[in-house]
Amino acid sequence: MTTNTPDRARTRFPGISSRAYEHPADRSALVALRSLTGFDTVLRKMSGLFNERAFRLMFLGGTVRVGENQFHNLHDMVRDACYILDLPEVPEVYVRQSPEPNAMALGSDRPFIVINTGLIDLLDDEELRFVIAHEVGHILSGHAVYQTMMQILLSLGSRLAWLPLGNLGIAAIIIGLKEWFRKAELSSDRAGLLAGQDLDAAKRTMMKLAGGTRLQEMSSEAFLEQAREYDAAGDVRDGLLKFLNLLPQTHPYAVMRFAEIDKWAHGGEYERILAGDYPRRDDDGSASVTDEIRNAAKSYRESWEQTADPFIGKVRDVADAAASAAGGLFDRFGNRRDNGPTNSSN
């Protein structure tokens, strides 16, 4: 597996909507939230509780701001990603000394990117390009704004921990939000691929996040097979354990992200976008919430049908049985309503 890709012209996507690359479950939530008049404004006001300005000053004073004279290579990468994805304002990037290989997009009014030195040391240039574009995808989708909800709820959860039931309600909502965030990560992986246009680099990134820099000791084919094995591993008990292990995670496991980006790259949608067939930002206001919710449901249904996980199979069987029972109930109710009440005489 090569670790470097020669410079080449990359396709640009003028006016591209984030809907082009968002996972259906992520997209349906975002379209619904965007349709609520004033919702962004409310969230931005609420984000003031965490003082975005203080965060920015903290990074300005304690990290290295990327620019023409500092980390020039990263500066070029973020500008290139914004140019290709047509993000009007190039976000600031800060490099933070930390061995943890991580990057994040923060802020709502003026989102910015933070990348740890552990990630810079781990990745080559094309892999870093993928990561930078991944974070630009978060900003283009507005994830930084909507993730404010989780920060607020986490704060509320800690304050309400003394209440018998208050924290349980908050915890249930956070579980749902984390599921959304995991899908948002898959969305941004797609944005990273669109901007970098190097599938091997995207895959190498996932492999390095899982196993470090020794790519000569790894195989992309074996890693993909590992993803299949994880999907089908064990019995119903193992499936339940996988589900419980995933609940607290904000990111999908690297092996599954590898499989998902490989699937999306070869599924036809990526090629259509490269050919210029993608939704435009100007049409975001007319996006149908109902259609996107249906798309999300279809995506989950297809995922459940394709998985070999025995636990998901059992859950699917129970859900199908419940749906059949509910359908029969509604059919009987509908027949009774259509036929009217029956009277028996003796």
Residue 98 has pLDDT above 90, yes or no: yes
Residue 257 has pLDDT above 90, yes or no: yes
The larger pLDDT score, comparing residue 173 to residue 238, is at 238
CA–CA gap between residue 249 and residue 128 (Å, rounded): 23
DSSP per position, 107-125: -SSS-EEEEEHHHHHH--H
Residue 277 has pLDDT above 60, yes or no: yes
Kindly list the catalytic residues: 135
Q: 3-state DSSP: the chain helix, strand, coil percent, rounded to 5?
A: 65, 5, 30
CA–CA gap between residue 229 and residue 231 (Å, rounded): 5
The larger pLDDT score, comparing residue 66 to residue 325, is at 66
Residue 203 has pLDDT above 60, yes or no: yes
Residue 249 has pLDDT above 60, yes or no: yes
Predicted pLDDT of residue 317: 47
Angle ∠(66,11,275) on CA atoms, nearest 5: 145
Residue 343 has pLDDT above 70, yes or no: no
pTM tops 0.85: no
Residue 96 has pLDDT above 60, yes or no: yes
Predicted pLDDT of residue 200: 97
Mean pLDDT of 187-204: 97
Residue 84 has pLDDT above 70, yes or no: yes
- Chain-centroid distance, C-alpha 295: 16
The length of the chain in residues reads 346
Predicted pLDDT of residue 304: 45
For residue range 103-150, list pLDDT tens digits in order.
998 887 788 999 999 999 999 999 999 999 999 999 998 887 666 566
Residue 93 has pLDDT above 70, yes or no: yes
Predicted pLDDT of residue 310: 52
Mean pLDDT of 312-322: 44
Burial call 150-188: b when 16+ CB within 10 Å, e when fewer: bebbeebbeebeeeeeebeebeeebeebbbbbbbbbbbb
- Which segment of 24-33, 206-215, 276-285 scores lowest on mean pLDDT? 24-33
Residue 323 has pLDDT above 70, yes or no: no
Residue 88: helix, strand or coil by DSSP?
coil
Going from N- to C-terminal start, the domains of the chain cover: 18-334
pLDDT band at 23 (very low <50, low <70, confident <90, very high): confident
Predicted pLDDT of residue 297: 56
Predicted pLDDT of residue 262: 96
Q: Which structure tokens are listed for 52?
A: 């975005």
DSSP at 266: T
For residue range 33-42, list pLDDT tens digits in order.
555 555 555 5
Q: Tokens 């039931």 sit at which residue?
A: 165
Residue 338 has pLDDT above 60, yes or no: no
Predicted pLDDT of residue 162: 53
The larger pLDDT score, comparing residue 253 to residue 173, is at 253
Predicted pLDDT of residue 275: 97
Predicted pLDDT of residue 325: 42
CA–CA gap between residue 87 and residue 136 (Å, rounded): 8
Predicted pLDDT of residue 285: 75
